[in-house]
Chains A and B, each alone.
Chain A
Amino acid sequence: MLRLVALFLAAIVAAGCACKAPVTPALFVVVPSSDGHVGKIVVTHGAETRVIDKPWSGQRVTGDGTIEAAKDSEEEVRKAFGTTLSALPGRPTSFMLYFLEGKDELTPESREELDKVFAELKRRPLPDIVVIGHTDSVGGLTYNDKLSLARAERMREMMVGLGIPEERVQAAGRGKRELLVPTEDNISEPRNRRVEINVR
């Protein structure tokens, strides 16, 4: 109830003051993501709407109540937001590792990649990891369900062995239900024998 009153009062004050109240300045800037993708934000100030869709470009609401294109350079924005940007948690990402046929053993190539993947997992202070195992379509449903879970569990054990807390890692098997490369049944396909590691 208190909350409602407070909000309502705030609304009255804001609505009741048609006079020139001091405007709280604000700056909005679009930052390109690490893969270079640039999206779009839309800033609305009073009746004015501005779209920002270029990297490092921005809009500024001034203390006088106007909205204008921000002239801040990339360097200025990086400097002003340095501490803020460095506090952004790691981007959610995923990895794929491949297995030998009918086994919960990694292929030599994936074994080499393992260190890189685990290093990335360990870099995160409090990772939420989901490991999903898959198989190709050789064999029955039950067999593949078991094999896919064994692959996921194997990865999970290795992560826990590396010091990642057990409760941060979930393992699941999808059997042959989610083929990466669609095939007929009973087809040996290396790209389908995999685990997907999702980390947030």
Chain B
Amino acid sequence: MTAPDAPSPKPDAGKRAFGWVRDVLSTRLNKSAGRIRQLMLLIGVAYLGIGGKLVHLGLSREPPQTLKVAADQAAAGARPDLLDRNGAILATDVKTLSVFAEPRNIIDKDEAVELITAVLPAVDARELRERMNSKKGFIWIKRQITAKEHDEIFHLGLPGIGFWPENKRIYPNGPLAAHVLGFVDKDNIGIAGMEKYLDTQGLTDPHVPGFAVDPEALKPVRLSLDIKATHALRDELIAGLERFKAKAAAGAIIDVDTGEIIALESLPDYDPNDPPDMTKQVNWPKINRVNVGTYEMGSTFKALTIAMALDSGKVSLGSHIDARDSLRSGHFTIHDFHATHRVLTVPEVFTHSSNIGTARMALMVGVQGHQAFLRKMGQLDRLQTELPESAKPQVPKHWGELNTMTIAFGQGLNVAPLQALMGVAALVNGGHLMKPTFLVRDEATAMANSEKVVSDQTSESMRYLLRSNATHGSAGFANVEGYYVGGKTGTAQKIVGRRYSNDKVFTTFMAITPADKPKFLYLVMYDQPEAAPGDGGYHTAAYNAGRVTGALLRRVEPLEGHAPLLAPPAHPFPLIARLGYGADADKVGKE
């Protein structure tokens, strides 16, 4: 055979057979450039693919949603409970079912619409059909259905129709404190009041993607309101509203040591369970008059003027103020409502509510000083509390001597009543100006955030003046036995057209109890009250707001656990007693 001349072709064949393997595994440099190019191409194609998908996703209008995400975003979010200061529920979430449809999964849309509208007559068939035929993947049919409706729809057995649990906001007390609580819309988003505050503070679970809050983690929020006191306030205000045929009424109770609002009501009000009720038209707007309304506070403002004069040191309790003649400025003349035509002491100016006297005292301090004092007392700037609603006081643009004279007795400057309340609270609590709050706050925190605006002595003088006004002045109707009440009336004439009207008035009343160491400051206001039968035609503050405050005080004080005093305090005003005044508030004013 040819064994020797045919020297083994086998290795060659083997070389050829495994040649490609060697090729692939070869690490020679001449091969790598091509391979890198191939790799780059591959990666490039992959990136192009990803980029293309991104552009596609970006351009498509509706991102594909899973049902859960869609329903979750559409459903009403969870909100924390609102409690009163004693833990009673003011607002809470209740689970309800809402019925939805996925039009893509419905086989016969017309039949579905027909059957559903048979069960839910409130749903408009034509409108529902239109929405069913839109391209949406998820539509609500009806929110917050009843258990019976749920049963009936469930038994229709329609494909593409489902139920989703939702939260519905419930206000068990109805219209009580409605102006503080506010209300929510269908999606449980706060629209007004403390409900809106909760949303702005991020205390709710609004279903915003990326801000998921565990509904279990929502802690109840405790407000400073006392539901029982609020009810008493509302009840008495309504009784007065009917008796005095007033257009509107409002009232508030504030704890002067902490600045907490214990009760706040404004009539007419609405039921937050039924938000459309808010906008239902009545003759008088349903606004929060304590917060949003601005009014000329009338004679209650005199407290601020007298405190300013006393604190400036230009006037003391024993000073004499000339109120013999009307005060003229330009072509304006200032009269006294209860004219005395004599020289008055400072307590007499207060108890007789002398316009001339207070105007003279303001002039002693001067325009600059008057403005500075009112600014310090927070009367010239917008007062912002937790409530989103607030009002800017209407300050005269050109503030001359005449303005100072009229503002001294509460005309010519419109402030929110809450503002005036804050100012008077500071005058009687020892001179600490603190912002009112609707959340619970302790005295230490309140004091730390307060500002000393008048001296202890001025504060005590004001308490003494308020007390003497209850015993000898216009606040007698509110002088409830056992509570050592101090108070001040205010009757401001309303501007009709461009003139102050004589028969249309805005009346306010402020009362403190007990006057030697006040805890609560009461405010009651009536808009356009009329004289009640038997009042001799008087429609001034003492007859309406003053009476209501008296009745209110009698109800609220025992509710709050304040025991009545069987005898007046022995040394109610120690600081000014040392100076020889006010040893007995019950005797002053007459002298």
Do A and B make up one complex?
no
Which positions in A face B, CB cutoff 8 Å?
Answer: none
Which positions in B face A, CB cutoff 8 Å?
Answer: none
